Amino acid sequence: MSDYTKEFLAMSKAYEASGGDPASLSDGGIAGLMVSHRRILRSNDAPGVHIEGEETPTGVKAKITVDPDVHVEHPVHLCFGVLPKEGTQEIVSEFLVGEGAKARFLAHCVFPNAVKVRHVMDARIHVGKHADLEYSETHYHGEEGGVEVLPTAKITIDEGGSYRSLFKLIQGAAGELRIDYEADIGKDALCELDARVYGKRNDVIRVKESLFLNGEKSRGLAKSRIVASGHCVSEVVGEAVGNAPGARGHVDCVEIVKGKDARVSAVPRLLVTDDRAKLTHEAAIGSVDKKQVETLMARGLTEEEAVDVVVRGILR
Amino acid sequence: MICVLDLVDVGLAVGGKPILQDLNLHVLPGEIHAILGMNGTGKSTLASVIMGLSGFSPTSGKVIFQGEDITALPVPDRAKRGITLAWQEPARFEGLTVKEYMELGQRDSPGRGPSPGECLLMVGLPPDRYLQRAVDATLSGGERKRVELASILSMGPRLSILDEPDSGIDVLSLSHILDAVRTLAKNGASVLLITHQNEIAASADRASSLCGGTILRTGDPVAIGRFFRNHCRECPHGSALPGEALLHE
């Protein structure tokens, strides 16, 4: 078996463990990109979807384009990972979704053996007029906690476009995670940013989601769900800026603390520069809601089971 | 006849203030037993004591279920014996579907009620529209209460404590609620129906009036309703009793 095949199979296995369907990685009809450390193992176009990848000394540069008015039938599968215990991977990516196009991206980031791994994702995302993009990113980490994950994204959404993202890191130790997403939302456009993270041991989590509601009647939601256990420290900054008439933004943060040594904080920042914009926020941080737990206990669950059901639910 | 539930001289004080005092209540097998009382008389506190919720351990007296003293038993053990509670304002759960929520209730229940879909139909909610919905803030207050009742039905409990199942429910939905209560009893459950509406209490087999943390009278629901209407007044302390306040923390 060649080195390439071995690596591809190992990545596929980790991809499957993270919830991905490995068959989609070898299906010629499905667009996808697989990067193992600094090596592109697979890059496949599909009708209306073009992927350009280039290996760099520190990782990979990728440009993914969806042609105007193309409705991509199957989700585009992306897989980024580092299989050795140590290594740095920098992904510099550009996503361009053409006017009127519609696409869904499923990204899986896998670091199953990480002891000292650094993963940097620097993304530029442009959603064209009346286009629709869904981006889901699921992480699968080992239990060692030796991962540094730094995802940043600058998102631009043109008139009538929509962008929805879901970031999930609930398997394995989060390590050090610093999310920084910033969206420029145009007229009648929509942006939803959703991050769900389960922090354990000595994990350090920082989530910053910023919505700039620059277009008339633009709408945005910055949502985060964090569970912190062990000695985990978490900080969530949800920011919304209402710069246009009729703009509506909402920041929604829930952070649950499990155990006496974890620390969580939530910082909402709302700024209105147009008196016809409206921004709201809600945050609930602390222990699991007593009433939720007692309701489940009144159905026979132990307190521990009840807390687990509540926690799994909010991270789902 | 052996009662399903006996509360014997139950008292509960919170912060030195009595909430329940010398309370005696006996619920028969398969009966719908209404508890009538004004706001602040201790109705929800009584429900919490029977369910064994944290902070509601009786300071005196005993809770007997099917002949067993369960006064010191934790909530899950009571549930496994067939006791359950539908809160006046049920909790909401992100990421949990109605079907999953109902199946969780069936897991440890000693009985087995109809399927989740059938139970939803009984409370007037089409299963194809509701089974996969989340038990979260997207459900209206009335929908959430009906889902709660459906979940209780599906558990096949031996004693269901329903805390004001009629509050926040529109007139059309109310008939579904009352039908579901009757179905619970028909399936062998005793139902403790907590309310402050005579019309709801009239659907019970027996009723007790609760005032100042104690049961004043027990008997025919119409007669008790008349007594309640003619004698009961809003408590001077309103709903600000420590026990009620604790419940709504």
At residue A292, the pLDDT reads: 96
Q: Which residues of B touch A298 (CB under 8 A)?
A: 51, 75, 78-79, 83-85
Closest CB to B79 among A289, A299, A315:
A299
Number of helices (H) and strands (E) in chain B: give both, helices first: 10, 10
**What count of Cα atoms within 13 Å lies in the side-chain half-sphere of residue B124?**
17
The CA distance from B76 to B83, in Å, is: 9
The answer for B 156-215 residues in CB contact with A (under 8 A) is none
Instruction: Compare all CA atoms of chain A with the CA of B91 and give the residue at the minimum distance.
Output: A292
At residue B238, the pLDDT reads: 44
Mean pLDDT by 10 residues, chain B (249 residues): 92 91 96 92 94 95 96 97 95 96 89 90 95 95 93 95 88 85 93 89 93 92 85 56 36
Q: Please judge whether B94 and A300 are an interchain contact, meaning their C-beta atoms are less than 8 angstroms apart.
A: no
At residue B233, the pLDDT reads: 66
Least confident of A139-143, A306-310, B2-6: A139-143
Q: Please judge whether A291 and B104 are an interchain contact, meaning their C-beta atoms are less than 8 angstroms apart.
A: no
Range of the domain at A53: 3-315
Which pLDDT tens digit goes with each residue over A54-112?
999 999 999 999 999 999 999 999 999 999 999 999 999 999 999 999 999 999 999 98
Q: Are A296 and A306 in contact (CB under 8 A)?
A: yes
Q: For residue B131, what are its two tokens?
A: 């089974």
Q: Are A136 and A106 in contact (CB under 8 A)?
A: yes
Least confident of A155-159, A173-177, A238-242, B225-229: B225-229
Neighbours of A144 (CB within 10 A): 18
Of A143 and B67, more confident:
B67
Q: Which residues of A touch B107 (CB under 8 A)?
A: 299-301
- CA neighbor of B112 nearest in space, from B155, B66, B75: B155
Q: How far is CA B214 from CA B19, B81, B222, in A?
A: 9, 26, 20
Residue A68 to chain B, least CA–CA distance (Å): 34
Q: Please judge whether A300 and B105 are an interchain contact, meaning their C-beta atoms are less than 8 angstroms apart.
A: yes
Bridging pattern class, strands A32-36 and A102-111 = unpaired
Q: For residue B67, what are its two tokens?
A: 């002949």
Query: How distant is the alpha carbon of residue B149 from its chain centre?
Result: 10
Mean pLDDT of A296-314: 95
- CA neighbor of A236 nearest in space, from A221, A222, A220: A222
Size of interface A-B (CB pairs under 8 A): 66
What lies within 8 Å, CB to CB, of B131 at 6+ separation is: B97, B98, B99, B116, B117, B120
Q: Which residues of B touch A310 (CB under 8 A)?
A: 93
Query: How distant is the alpha carbon of residue A262 from its chain centre?
Result: 23
At residue A101, the pLDDT reads: 98
At residue B236, the pLDDT reads: 54
The CA distance from A307 to A283, in Å, is: 19
Q: What percent of chain A has pLDDT over 90?
A: 86
The predicted model scores a pTM of 0.85
Give the three-state DSSP class for A44: strand
Which pLDDT tens digit goes with each residue over B88-147?
999 999 999 999 999 999 888 777 889 999 999 999 999 999 999 999 999 998 899 999
Q: Please judge whether B95 and A313 are an interchain contact, meaning their C-beta atoms are less than 8 angstroms apart.
A: yes
Q: Please judge whether A299 and B109 are an interchain contact, meaning their C-beta atoms are less than 8 angstroms apart.
A: yes
What lies within 8 Å, CB to CB, of B217 at 6+ separation is: B208, B209, B224, B227
Q: For residue B169, what are its two tokens?
A: 């429910």
The CA distance from B226 to A120, in Å, is: 73
Which pLDDT tens digit goes with each residue over A25-42?
888 889 999 999 999 999
Whether chain B has a CB inside 8 Å of the CB on A312: the answer is yes
- For domain B5-88+153-247, give the fold: Rossmann fold (3.40.50)
Residue B110 to chain A, least CA–CA distance (Å): 10
At residue B168, the pLDDT reads: 79
Greatest extent of chain B over all pairs of C-alpha atoms, in Å = 51
Domains in chain A: how many in total? 1
At residue A3, the pLDDT reads: 77
Whether chain A has a CB inside 8 Å of the CB on B28: the answer is no
Could you give the strand order of the β-sheet that contains B60-65, starting from the edge strand earlier in sequence? Answer: B17-27, B5-14, B60-65, B68-69
Share the mean pLDDT of chain A: 94
The one-letter amino acid code at A26 reads S
Neighbours of A38 (CB within 10 A): 17
Check if the interface score ipTM surpasses 0.85: yes
At residue B242, the pLDDT reads: 37
Q: What angle do CA B242, B62, B76 make, to 5 degrees?
A: 80
The answer for A 212-271 residues in CB contact with B (under 8 A) is 225, 254
Interface test with B, best of A250, A288, A295 (most B CBs within 10 A): A295
Closest CB to B76 among A301, A314, A315:
A301
Mean pLDDT of A180-207: 97
Domain locations in chain B as residue ranges: 5-88+153-247
User: HEC profile for B118-141?
Assistant: HHHHHCCCCHHHHCCCECCCCCCH
At residue B241, the pLDDT reads: 42
